[in-house]
A and B are shown apart, each in its own frame.
Chain A
Amino acid sequence: MSEQMRRVAIDPVTRVEGHGKITLLQDADNRVHEARLHIVEFRGFEKFIQGRPYWEVPTFVQRLCGICPVSHHLAAAKAVDQLVGVEELTPSSLKLRQLLHFGQTLQSHALHFFHLSSPDLLFGFGSDVAKRNIIGVIEAHPETAVKGVKLRKYGQQVIAAISGKRVHGSAAVPGGMNKSLTKEERNVLLADIKDIIAWSEEAVSLNEQIHMAHPENHAFGKLNTNFLGMIGPKGELELYHGGLRARAPDGSTLFDQFDYRGYQDIIREEVRSWSYMKFPYLTSLGKEKGWYRVGPLARVNNCDSISTPLAEAARKRFKAFAHGSFVQDTLAYHWARMIEMLYCAEAIELLLNDEDISGSDLVVTGEKRSEGIGVIEAPRGTLFHHYKIDEEGMIKKANLIVSTTSNNQAMNESVRSVADQYIDGNEITEGLLNHLEVAVRAYDPCLSCATHALGKMPLQVELIDANGGLVDRLTKGSNGNIERSL
C-alpha cells in the first residue's frame, strides 16, 4: 500500500438482510484503489450439521434464513430425495413444491422491492434518511405501499397453506410432500389471485418507468459479467428444476443444460482472508475471469422465454431495452425481479387450477444412496445443497453454495464502480454513502444465508491516513443526521 492510502469504512450496509461492511482505500487525490464488501459473521453450519440424521435437514436448514426459508427447505429436500433414491416425484408432490416455491419467490421479491429498496428508487438515493424506509413509503405513497404489503402477504399465505406456517413450516419429506391442498384452501387463494397478478404487473411497469426515467441509473454500478442460472428443457425461465446454463457477456454459451449434480466440475470457491463469504468462479475460466452473476438479472437475461404470457411480454420489453443483448445494468435487477414476481403470480394461478395439487399420491420411495445434491433457483439465485451420509443415515459432509455467495465478486465490483463514479474526489456525505449501499442492495443480498449469521452495527465512516491517524469521521446518528466528530 502506498503511503498516501487511507481507509474509508461503511459499517454496516443496511436495508439488506445480514451483516456486512464496505471499506475503500483511497489515495491522496481520493482515487479509489480498492473497494471491498466484507461479510463479517460466521455460523459453522457445515460442521454442526454433521452427525445429524438426514431427514432433519430440510426442516432445520431453513433456520439459516428467515427471508427465504423455503428455498433452503426445498434445495435440501431435493438432495434428500436423492439420498432415499428418488429421481422423480409424483405429479402432486412436484406441483405442490413448485407452488410453495412460487409463493416464496413472490413474497421475497415483494419484500425486497417494497419494504427494502423502493425508498431509494421512489425518493432518491440521497433523500432524507428519516423517510427513506417502508414507513416513509406508507406515508408518501400509501396505495403503492399497501399493495406491496399485500403482495408479500399473499406469498406468505401460499406458503402457510402448504407448510402450515408462514415462516419455518414443514412441507417436504424424503421423496415427496406431507400433505396436499384441500378444495377450500385452493378457493381461498384463488379468490385474490387476479388482484395479485394485476398488482405484480403494476410493479413491473413502475420499475420500467423508473429505469427509463433515470438514465443515470443505467450506468450505476454496471458490470459486464457472465450469467449463471437454471433453465428449463426448452430454455425457458425455470425456478424449481432444470439444467444449468452459463453465458458470457457477448452472449456466447459457456455450458447449457448441465446436470447440476456435477457442480464440483464447473465451480470452485476461493477463500479470501478478509471475508467470511467465499468467492465462487467458473473453473473453466479461472479465478480472474470466471466470476459471474446469479439471481433475477441473470435468469431473465439467460432464458429464451417465460412460459406465462404477461411475464413473457414484460421480458420482451426488457430485452428490447438492450436491443436484444444482455441487460447488464445492475439496477435492472429490480426490474427483472418484478418480471419474475409477475411470472410467479401467473404460475400460481395455473397451479391453483390444477387438480393435481389436491391429489393424495404424495410419496415415492427408492434405494438409499450415500450422496445427494439439490439445486434450486432461490429468489436471489442458484442455491446448491450437497450432503453425504454414512450407513446410519447421519450427515458426514455438507456443502452449501448460497445464492448471495455467487454474487460476492459482482457486489464488490459494483461497489467499486459506484465508488469510482461518486466518491472519487468528493467529500463524503450521507447521501453518497447510501449510493454504495444502493449498489449492494440491488443484488438483494442475504448476508445471513451467506454466512449463516446476522448482526447490525452503527454506520460510521472513518478516513484514516497511511500512518493510522484519524483524518475524518462521520457518524450517522439515531435521527439519521450525519455528524462530523473531528
Chain B
Amino acid sequence: MSTKKKVRVATTSLAGCFGCHMSFLDIDEAIVGLIEHVEFSRSPINDIKHCDPDCDIGLIEGGLCNAENVHVLKEFRESCKIIIAVGACAINGGVPAMRNHYTLKECLEEAYLDGIGVENPMIPNDVELPLLLSKVHPIHEVVHVDYYLPGCPPPAEAFLKVLTDLLEGKEPSLPKEILHYD
C-alpha cells in the first residue's frame, strides 16, 4: 500500500432526495478499493459534522431551499478545493424547484391549513425551524462551482470515473455511455 496522503472527500445533501448519494453508494464493492485512496470528511454517512479546512473534493447534492442549505454550501466552498454540483437538483434546482411556480405561502397553506385530515391547522412557526427561502435555487447562483455531474441521479460509474480522473490529476471527462441527464 502506498503511503501517499489520501484525498479528502466531503459530501452533503441540501434540498435533494438523497438519490445522488445512493447512486454514489451504487459503486458497491468498489468502495473497498476507493477507500485506499480516499478518506471521507463531513458526509451524511458518518458522524463528522464539519468539513476539514483542507478538503480536496466536495460533492454537493441538492439545491438551496432554506438558510441552512446556504450556510452549509458556503462551508463546503470555503473548505474544499474542488466543488462538484452533483445531479439535477444541485445543477438547476430539480424537482424541489417546482415549488417556484407558487409562492411559499401557498405551499405552506396547502400542507398545513387545507390538507386532508389536518387537525389543528396552522403553519409551523418556531425558533427551531430554519428560515425557508422564497424560491429554490441551484448552487451555482451562490458559490463558484468547478464541475457539474449531470443526471437524476448520475450513474455510479460516473462518480467513480470523475473521482478516478481527479485522483490521477486529470481533467475529468465522461464517456458518452455514462453521461446521462435522466
Contact = CB atoms under 8 A, between A and B. Distances in A.
Interface of A: 9, 14-15, 17-19, 21, 23, 36, 38, 40-44, 46-48, 50, 60, 63-67, 69, 111, 115-116, 129, 132-135, 138, 142, 146, 149-150, 152-153, 156, 165-168, 264, 267-276, 278, 287, 386, 397, 399, 434, 448, 452-460, 476-480
Contact of A14 (B49, B66, B94, B110): B49
A146 B31 CA distance: 10
Contacts of B26: 153, 156, 166-167
A397 B40 CA distance: 43
A46 B110 contact: yes
A65 B50 contact: no
Q: Which 4 A-B pairs have the closest CB atoms?
A: A66-B19, A44-B107, A133-B46, A47-B110
B49 A455 contact: no
Contacts of A386: 116
Contact of B47 (A65, A133, A453): A133
A457 B115 CA distance: 29
Q: Quick one: which of B49, B99, B101, B126 has the most chain A CB within 10 A?
A: B49
25 contacts: A15-B45, A42-B65, A43-B96, A43-B99, A44-B111, A47-B102, A47-B110, A47-B111, A129-B47, A149-B28, A150-B28, A165-B182, A166-B22, A166-B23, A264-B117, A268-B117, A271-B124, A273-B124, A273-B125, A273-B126, A397-B116, A455-B65, A455-B130, A456-B44, A478-B42
A44 B102 contact: yes
B65 A480 contact: no
The contact size tier of chain B is 35 or more
A422 to B, nearest CB: 17
Nearest to B10: A478
A66 B21 contact: yes
B38 to A, nearest CB: 10
Q: Quick one: which of A66, A272, A458 has the most chain B CB within 10 A?
A: A66
Contacts of B44: 14-15, 17, 456
Contacts of A129: 47-48
B35 interface: yes
A134 B45 contact: yes
B66 A455 contact: yes
Nearest to A460: B49
B121 A14 contact: no
Contacts of B102: 44, 47-48
A480 B12 CA distance: 17
Contacts of B46: 14-15, 132-135
B132 to A, nearest CB: 6
Contacts of A41: 15, 65-66, 130
A42 B111 contact: yes
B124 A67 contact: no
A23 B31 CA distance: 35
Nearest to A44: B107
Contacts of B71: 457
Given A23-B128, A38-B129, A456-B12, A44 B108 contact: yes
Interface string B144-173: 000000001101100000000000000000
A408 to B, nearest CB: 12
A397 B72 CA distance: 34
Contacts of A272: 120, 124
Given A43-B96, A135-B40, A149-B28, A456 B13 contact: yes
A14 B47 contact: yes
Interface string B19-44: 11111011011011001000111101
A254 B71 CA distance: 47
B98 interface: yes
Given A42-B111, A456-B72, 10 more contacts: A14-B44, A41-B130, A42-B107, A42-B108, A43-B99, A153-B26, A270-B120, A271-B112, A271-B122, A272-B120
B48 to A, nearest CB: 6
Contact of B153 (A14, A133, A168, A453): A168
Contact of A454 (B16, B104, B125, B155): B16
A67 B99 contact: no
Given A274-B126, A448-B18, A455-B13, A269 B119 contact: yes
Contacts of A23: 128
Q: Quick one: which of A63, A264, A460 has the most chain B CB within 10 A?
A: A63
Contact of B99 (A48, A69, A135, A434): A48
A434 B68 CA distance: 22
Contacts of B62: 454-455
B111 A167 contact: no
Contacts of A480: 47-48
Interface in B79-123: 94-96, 98-99, 101-102, 104, 106-108, 110-112, 115-122
B19 A63 contact: yes
A69 B17 CA distance: 9
B31 A138 contact: yes
Contacts of A132: 46-47
A276 B17 contact: no
Q: Quick one: which of B46, B51, B72 has the most chain A CB within 10 A?
A: B46
A271 B118 contact: yes
Nearest to A449: B17
Contacts of B182: 165, 168
A29 B76 CA distance: 40
A272 B119 CA distance: 9
Given A21-B128, A454-B13, A477 B66 contact: no
